[in-house]
Structure 1
Amino acid sequence: MKTTIVEVKNYVGQEVTIGAWLANKRSSGKIAFLQLRDGSGFIQGVVVKNEVPEEVFQLAKSLTQESSLYVTGIVREDERSPFGYELSVTKLELIHEAHDYPITPKEHGTEFLMDHRHLWLRSKRQHANMKIRNEIIRATYEFFNKEGFIKIDPPILTGSAPEGTTELFHTKYFDEDAYLSQSGQLYMEAAAMAFGKVFSFGPTFRAEKSKTRRHLIEFWMIEPEMAFYEFEDNLKVQEDYVSYVVQSVLKNCSLELKILNRDTTKLEKVQAPFPRITYDDAIKFLHEQGFDDIKWGDDFGSPHETAIANSFDKPVFITHYPKAIKPFYMQPDPTRDDVVLCADLIAPEGYGEIIGGSERIHDYDLLKQELERHQLSLETYSWYLDLRKYGSVPHSGFGLGLERTVAWIAGCEHVRETIPFPRLLNRLYP
């Protein structure tokens, strides 16, 4: 019976064959322990000298790291194994013998590992990170489909920018200027006027010359947009969605979280509703904490966000930021013109902002005024203004950064480990 490692639980006491790679091994005179992986998981294969033909035992002892093989054996339950099962090997068939695999079980520097990212992905921790990433994606589709959203795919090449062009990658689109998308939001607003509740999930790009552990040049965003949803409705969707994703990872990736030594007690607390603090109160709080450098009207940096998040045991919304530091499309607070109906969701444990969202301006004249104030071309944004001419309604949306969310849930120190092939300021290889 040919199967995969993740499926061996269905074949306890039976003989199965698995196509695998040798991740590591150790052997004594009469027994060899093979650490095997097949992409679905990791399992130990035990080869006992007096239970197999001599050539099988000799092959087991001579196998090199990352050689590929077919392994046949009896599935046994094993309480000592994190996975819960092991394989009593009866037969080995070598497919390809690997030589001088560069990533050995010793310590390697980060740059070396990043240069070998195409191989580093095979390691147990990176495998766990990618499985958690995949679960977040799966749960995302499940949540939004369950809530009646339709997935819409905005373009990656755009002729304009939702938040200005200073941090965009410029390219030529035949004889026109074009940019790699930094957000699908404006297009999602158009889609929301056609379908009510929509979401996108795709790559976005920021030409931001930052080297912090929270930044990537290319990253993935989940961007829902909702017609007839006002500010409070928007926050409710965000906290329900994040709670759903975290609980899904806890339920379906317990082994991966264990491999990463993640403290799950903190994740178990992530249940809606989430606490909120206004920008005004956040400034007061930071002053009380000794952050004398921050003043009203400044945007928050990582140390400020971390200090605020550390006073809560769940993600926290910071709401009502100053209008002057936010994009042109955000709806002003009806009670005061200097702040907008927006919120950033800050993850606990120092992982920073994972969501930015707002109610959008739905009044034609006000949006036109804001475009002019930001010195943006009315001609370029004429299609966006059209959305306010033909049946405009209050609407809201948000964007969640996938990699920052993976980093937080998985407990990764740096976002470079949360995407298969990271693009960083100094890295376009492999």
Structure 2
Amino acid sequence: MEWIYIKDMKKHIGEKVEFRGWLWNKRVSGKIGFLQLRDGTGFVQGVVEKSTLGEEKYKEVKKLKMESSLIVRGTVVEDQRSPVGFELHIDEVEIVHNPSEDYPISKKEHGIDFLMEHRHLWLRSRRQFHILKVRHEIIKAIREFYNNEGFVLIDTPIFTGSIGESAGNTFEIDYFDYGKVYLAQTGQLYLEAAAMALGKVYNLGPTFRAEKSKTRRHLIEFWMNEAEVAYYTHEDNMRLQENLVSYVVKKVLENASENLVALGRDISKLEKIEAPFPRITYTEAIKLLNKKGSDIQWGEDLGADDETLISEEFDKPVIIEKYPKSVKAFYMQPDPENPDVVLCDDMIAPEGYGEIIGASERIWQEDVLIERLKENNLPVEEYQWYLDLRKFGSVPHSGFGLGIERTVAWICGLKHIREAIPFARTLYRVYP
């Protein structure tokens, strides 16, 4: 008898199969019982009958606790009433492990603190299953997109002596006799070096921000996809971002629409996500916000509430470009038509999910970069290797960073980003 995963059972209607997994709920009484089973690929109902199992085994099944691990054998039977279109009529039950105590996360409601404290078990629930399946498809689609476009994967370091953003939100670490190093906020600077060698490069990995933020959009440790391309202009960069996000949404709808529906997501909103996206300048964004009642002034950075107000005007992600130089990072190329702004953009997700991409054309002239480092009080000597990229064969180049968890939250329709990553690291949580 063949061991079959739930995701493949529909191909085995009428056949006897073996299932290996867990019991996540049950209703057993009288002469018949219904076992809700899961195996990491899906959920299915198993039907047990006393007459088939025998009285002793049926008694054992009645005593099973939630999350008992089981191997069962039976026939896959078509059932139109089932959400998956079939159920499993069980002939044999082999109990691998029946817990000695009740499962902490039962059917009753729990507060978020309790669930986060038991995150290692909460992952087994239906909702978390569907979220993590969507996250998997998002990451798979990102890798597919870059492979199709001829990019090379570069694994950038997590320990760094060069700060990519402001020094105020870095984690400092004593690194043997070397002195202070930091947990990387970005792999961008290293991708720039790789782009000068390989042309089109990307990474995908964890990054860290020591921001004491408790909003629903912030994590301390999060995953980021970054890309960097030699000879790409600001305009090329924005087109690349549009194409990436469109591709990811399309692939998730193709491969995980059932997961989205199970989460209650309105997928008709996602079906509208196709390049090109609307674009406005930062200056236009300020005017729009003022018109909507905000008192924000030109020169101030946009906050989460500002981004939400802007996103209400669009049913696709909106690209806001050309922010003031004073609110952006040191490495961004000044706009030749207006040196007070830089050739950068943020992509804001619709429906109030905020910024999912930050991007810019990079400064490629050595003297301009040195000047910007000094303006930001950054030690020029620590960036000597980065300056070398401007000394030897420098070219215009551009890149961006896409936040994985914010993208997951938007596509899944989550209220809080902590559910978008398997084990969230927030201001007050590093357990489990």
- TM-score class, shorter: over 0.9
Alignment pair present for 1:228 and 2:231: yes
Contact 1:59 1:92 survives alignment (8 Å): no
Identity %: 60
| 1:185 maps to amino acid | Q
Letter in 1 for 2:119: R
Task: Write the mapping of 1:252-291 to structure 2, written as runs, cut at 5 A.
Answer: 252-291=255-294
2:251 counterpart letter in structure 1: S
- Per the normalisation by structure 1, the TM-score is 0.98
8 Å Cα contact 1:360-1:395 kept in structure 2: yes
Cα deviations across residues 26-82 of structure 1 (Å, max 9, x unaligned)? Answer: 134232111101111111111133444333433332221000010111112222222
More displaced stretch, 42-51 vs 103-112:
42-51
TM superposition score normalised by structure 2: 0.98
The CA distance in 2 between the partners of 1:230 and 1:47, in whole Å, is 64
Offset, 1:354: 0.4
Judge conservation of contact 1:362–1:395 (CA < 8 Å) in 2. Answer: yes
Q: How far apart, CA to CA, are the structure 1 residues paired with 2:68 and 2:16?
A: 22
Q: How far has the Cα of 1:86 moved from its partner?
A: 1.3
SS at match of 2:381: coil
Supply the distance in 2 between the matched residues of 1:303 and 1:207 (Cα, whole angstroms): 22
Count of aligned residue pairs for this structure pair: 429
1:358-398: CA deviation from partner (whole Å, max 9, x where unpaired): 10011111111111211211111111111111111110000
Do the aligned partners of 1:82 and 1:255 also contact (CA within 8 Å) in 2? no
Cross-structure match for 2:144: 142
Shift of 1:252: 0.6
- CA positional deviation for 1:410: 0.7
Q: What is the rounded CA distance, in whole Å, between the counterparts of 1:282 and 1:339 in structure 2?
A: 14
Alignment of 1:17-416 (within 5 A): 17-98=18-99, 99-175=101-177, 176-292=179-295, 294-416=296-418
Q: Which amino acid aligns with 2:287?
A: K
Deviation at 1:8, TM superposition (A): 1.1
Structure 2 counterpart SS, 1:105:
coil
C-alpha separation between the residues in 2 aligned to 1:179 and 1:83?
Answer: 48
SS in 1 for 2:186: coil
Distance 2:426 2:211 in 1: 10
Task: Choose 275-284 or 366-375, whichever is displaced more.
Answer: 366-375
Instruction: Tell me the distance in 1 between the aligned counterparts of 2:143 and 2:79.
Output: 35
SS for the counterpart of 2:390 is coil
**Runs of at least 4 residues off by over 3 Å:** 49-52
What are the ranges of 5 or more consecutive residues in structure 1 without an aligned counterpart? none
Deviates more, 1:68-77 or 1:304-313: 68-77
In 2, the alpha carbon distance for the partners of 1:13 and 1:55 equals 27
Deviations 1:274-332 (A, max 9, x none): 0011110110100110112x110111111110010011000000111001100010011
Q: Name the Cα RMSD after superposition.
A: 1.0
Q: Conserved in 2, the CA contact under 8 Å of 1:83 and 1:255?
A: no
